[in-house]
Each structure stands twice: as structure tokens, then as C-alpha cells.
Copies of this chain bind each other. A is one copy, B any other.
Amino acid sequence: MKTILLKNRPTGTPQTSDFEFTDSEKPSPKDGEILLKTKYVSVDPYMRGRMRDEKSYVEPFKLNEPITTAIVAEVVESSHEKFAKGDYLTGMLPWKEFSTSDGKGLRKVDKEQVPLSANLGILGLTGLTAYFGLLEIGEPKKGETVLVSGAAGAVGSIVGQIAKLKGCKVIGIAGTDEKITMLKEKFSFDAGINYDTTDDLSAAIKEAAPDGIDVYYDNVGSYTLDAAMENINRMGRVVNCGAISLYNETEQPTGPRLETTLVKKSVKMQGFIVSNYQEKFPEGIKQLGEWLKDGKLKYEETVVEGFDNIPQAFIDLFEGKNKGKMVVKVY
């Protein structure tokens, strides 16, 4: 069976040559352990940060060791008291076709309620990232205007829909006309801006939101953030969820200083990771599940097939090749 290791710490955009495939015997679970067969693998932009050898909110990946990421796997053997053969579990697991586990950090998923892959997306950390970032930091109020970048991505598309559920006007920024159409038609965004065909992003935001932006949910950073800040209202809130445009930078990126805008307009900018809200996860999963069941939330997935394609699926995130959540279906 195959395992994918981190071979090199990427410089700039990751390459498939930064990963190494190895072959080994299928492992045997010890007493009390389970044997898991990998079904769906999540690839996410934040993983780029873990490929650097620097202190961050999670430990960096180790060289020559398997990458770990959110995975849905099937229990194929079990002597674990809580998990039985045929169960589907999710949690952080290695990029291996099969792996063993003592079950710690894994939870059972309901294979009837939603498609398995949704546990990596809307009912997984992706949905929770959208939910807590928007509601706890963005604090959107009815009638306010919410701008989302990376709006056609996994997190952004959920953020926009939750903001609509809260009674806000929602504007999304994405990189193709097809994505913009999807934002408006599938996800009920009020307006969309294709940054790739827009000369002046700040002016385009102003046109879409003549009364300014109250909440900006940022997945992108850099000049997209600058353009949003030029349109931010007094008492505005910026949710710094990600900065995908900067993750592959090799030099310290520079840009306009934002502190005078923060002071002049009493603006808050706040970064977070979803695990800050771990204690509230059950509440979030419950609410997202209800909205999903009631047809109030929709989601989009880009499903890549085949274990061998995991590294390329990850790399494609940085070119925006995904619509919605990018997952790899292994079997």
C-alpha cells in the first residue's frame, strides 16, 4: 500500500516533486486498535503553512514523514470497544491507503445523513471555520453588507450563505465568471466580482456596495484585503481567516499600512483558527446540520479521484481550480 511523505519543504508554489510515494505492507492493528481504509482526503490551503519549518498554531509537518490531514475512513478491522467494522470515522489521519489507530481524536460519521465527503466540508472543519469566523468575529447584523473573498471556495461559499441567513447583503469575490454565476445562482449571493477581469477591485467593490462594507471575511489577503479596507465602514470588522495569496511568497510581502484606517474608522481585524472555538463545535455542527437538512445551505465540491492525485489536488488549490471544497476520493 502507498504512503505520501513530505520530501522537501516547498519554495514558493509546491511541486509534485516535493512529495514522495513509498510502498509498504498493509499495517496490522494491535490489540484495541482499528485498521482504517482511507476513503476521502481533504486538501486545504492552511496545509501550506505546515510545510514551512516555523512555529505556528500547529506543528510543522516533518520531512520524510506522512502528511496528515482530515480524512474519512472506513473501519475494516477492529478490536476497539467503540468502533466496529463497517463504521466510517473522521479525524486527522496520515496520507496512507490504510492506517491503524487507537481511535483517539476520531469520531463516527453518519453515512446516511449526508454524503461521506461532506464530513470534510460543510459538516467538518470547513463549515465550522465559516460558521465561527463569521458569527464570532464578524458579528453580522441584519441589513449590513458582508464581503467575502475566496467566495467560491470551501469556506467562502458557506460564509456567504450564513450571512444571507442572517439578513445581510452579500458580495463575493472569485476568479472566474463561472464561479460568479455559481455564487449568485446556487448560493444566493447578491453580487459577485471577478477579480481576474476587474482592473480596479476597490472601485468594483464600491460599485457593488455603495454604502460600504460592514464585515469583510478574508480568505485571500494582500491586495484583495487592501481593496476591501478602502471600502470598510466605521466600526467594520475584518475576519482574517486566511491569506492564500501570500502562502507561497518567499519574501516578506509588503503593502499599504492599515493602522491609520483601523484608527480612523474604529475597525477590528482579527485572525483565528477554528480550534479556538473547539468547545462550541457541537453547537456549530448541530446548526449547520439543521440548515443543511432544511435546504437552507448548499455546498459545492470538487472531487478528484485517486490516491496518486492527492498532491496535485493540493497544488491546484493555489490556482483556484476548485469550486467549493476540494476532496480526493480514494476508493
Contact = CB atoms under 8 A, between A and B. Distances in A.
Interface of A: 49, 56-57, 218, 221-222, 225, 234-235, 240-243, 246, 252-273, 276
A240 B257 contact: no
B234 A264 contact: no
B266 A271 contact: yes
Given A57-B266, A271-B267, A240 B252 contact: no
B246 A262 contact: no
A234 B272 CA distance: 10
B270 A234 contact: no
A262 B268 CA distance: 11
B234 A259 contact: no
A253 to B, nearest CB: 5
Contact of A242 (B240, B257, B258, B263): B263
12 contacts: A57-B266, A221-B259, A222-B257, A235-B276, A243-B257, A243-B263, A258-B258, A261-B271, A262-B269, A263-B272, A266-B272, A270-B270
A202 B330 CA distance: 47
Nearest to A236: B271
B260 A257 contact: no
A235 B57 CA distance: 10
Contact of A271 (B240, B256, B263): B263
Nearest to A46: B263
B242 A246 contact: no
A258 to B, nearest CB: 7
Identical copies in the complex: 2
Given A262-B270, A270-B270, 11 more contacts: A56-B264, A57-B234, A221-B259, A222-B259, A243-B259, A243-B263, A253-B257, A255-B257, A262-B271, A268-B271, A269-B270
A240 B21 CA distance: 48
Contacts of A57: 234, 264-266
B253 A218 contact: no
Contacts of A270: 262, 266-270
Contacts of A267: 270-271
B266 A269 contact: no
Contacts of A221: 257, 259-260, 263
A246 B257 CA distance: 9
Contacts of A243: 257, 259-260, 263
Contacts of A261: 271
A222 B262 CA distance: 13
A213 B118 CA distance: 39
